[in-house]
Copies of this chain bind each other. A is one copy, B any other.
Amino acid sequence: MKRVFMEIAYDGTAYCGFQIQNNAVTVEGVINEKLSQMTGEDIRIIGASRTDSGVHAKGNAAVFDTDSRIPGEKFAPALNTRLPEDIRIIYSKETEPDFHPRHCDCVKTYEYKIYNSPVPDPLLRLYSHFEYIPLDVEAMREGTAYLVGEHDFKSFCSIDTSAKTTVRTIYSIEVSREDNLITIRIKGNGFLYNMVRIIAGTLMLCGKGRLAPEKIREILASKDREKAGPTAPAKGLTLVKIDY
């Protein structure tokens, strides 16, 4: 028996999220199926981040246990010949038998992309949120200052969370603009349910001039989901990488 680690990229458009579900096509479900076909075992991967329906990944991660004699690093190329084009294993390797991709220290990097222009770009429609109201990137940046650091992010978490604590640390948030495409890049030691999308929705309110950036301090203090901005749509979000 050995444990194999994989880095996984996918276009979330066609999937009902990462986590396996009955009667819905998910990234985890597809990978389990292909790995089980390859090995003849009943393989069940353990994912690092259970991204929501429509959310993309360039660097999600997962582990699985197998008695197969296939070397750890050979799973990536072998799986890629079997997987649909919208899921790719970047690499695979044997790892420690007790390595768990969720129960360990890591830094996660997410990007939220907003196409901010009077007319949507058809080539970016699946990988960005479209917003025609001009956004003030400087105001969005001011808003980020109140979010960086260790805080109780209860106001930035969907109400149906099962998390034991809502305290998290954000290491950095960068807001950049290149032509019409705004990218919010956020690094932290873990994120609550919908936290990045609620942060994106709240920063967009700052960008539209509908929320003064300094109000974010009060929103955090209130610990009230109703005070923060809306949850921004899933398709703008990509899990970029997880550093263990």
Q: Could you tell me which A residues sit within 8 Å of B by CB distance?
A: 9-11, 56, 58, 76, 80, 85-91, 119-123, 125, 127, 238
**Alpha-carbon distance between A238 and B123 when the two chains are bound, in angstroms:** 10
Which B residues lie within 8 Å of A119 (CB)? Answer: 9, 76, 80, 88-91
Q: Which of B11, B80, B91, B121 contacts A9 (CB under 8 A)?
A: B121
Copies of this chain per assembly = 2
Can you name 5 extra interface pairs (CB under 8 A) apart from A11-B122, A86-B122, A123-B238? A9-B122, A9-B123, A80-B119, A86-B125, A88-B120
B87, B121, B123: the one contacting A122 at CB < 8 Å is B87
Cα–Cα, bound, A127→B124 (Å): 10
25 residue pairs A–B, Cβ–Cβ below 8 Å: A9-B119, A9-B122, A9-B123, A10-B122, A11-B122, A11-B123, A11-B125, A56-B122, A56-B123, A58-B121, A58-B123, A76-B119, A85-B120, A85-B122, A85-B125, A86-B122, A86-B125, A87-B122, A88-B119, A88-B121, A88-B122, A90-B119, A91-B119, A123-B127, A123-B238
Please give me the residue from chain B that is nearest to A11 by CB atom.
B122
Question: What is the distance, in angstroms, from A156's C-beta to the closest C-beta of chain B?
Answer: 26
Q: Which 10 pairs across A and B sit closest by C-beta, in order of nearness?
A: A11-B122, A86-B122, A9-B122, A88-B122, A10-B122, A90-B119, A88-B119, A85-B125, A11-B123, A88-B120
**Chain B residues with CB below 8 A from A127, complex form:** 123
Most buried by B among A10, A76, A86, A119: A119
Chain B residue numbers with a CB within 8 Å of A10 are 122
**In whole angstroms, how far apart are the Cα atoms of A80 and B121 in the complex?**
12
Q: In the complex, A76→B118 CA distance in Å?
A: 11
A10 to B122, CA, bound (A): 5
Give bound CA distance, A9 to B122, whole Å: 7
Q: How far is the CA of A123 from the CA of B58 in the complex (A)?
A: 8
Q: A95 to B109: give the CA distance in the assembly, Å.
A: 48
Q: Which residues on the B side are within 8 Å of A80 (C-beta)?
A: 119
In the complex, chain B residues whose CB is within 8 Å of the CB of A90: 119
A9 CB contacts on chain B under 8 angstroms: 119, 121-123
Which of A10, A91, A122 counts the most chain B CB atoms within 10 A? A122
In the bound complex, CA of A91 to CA of B119 (Å)? 8
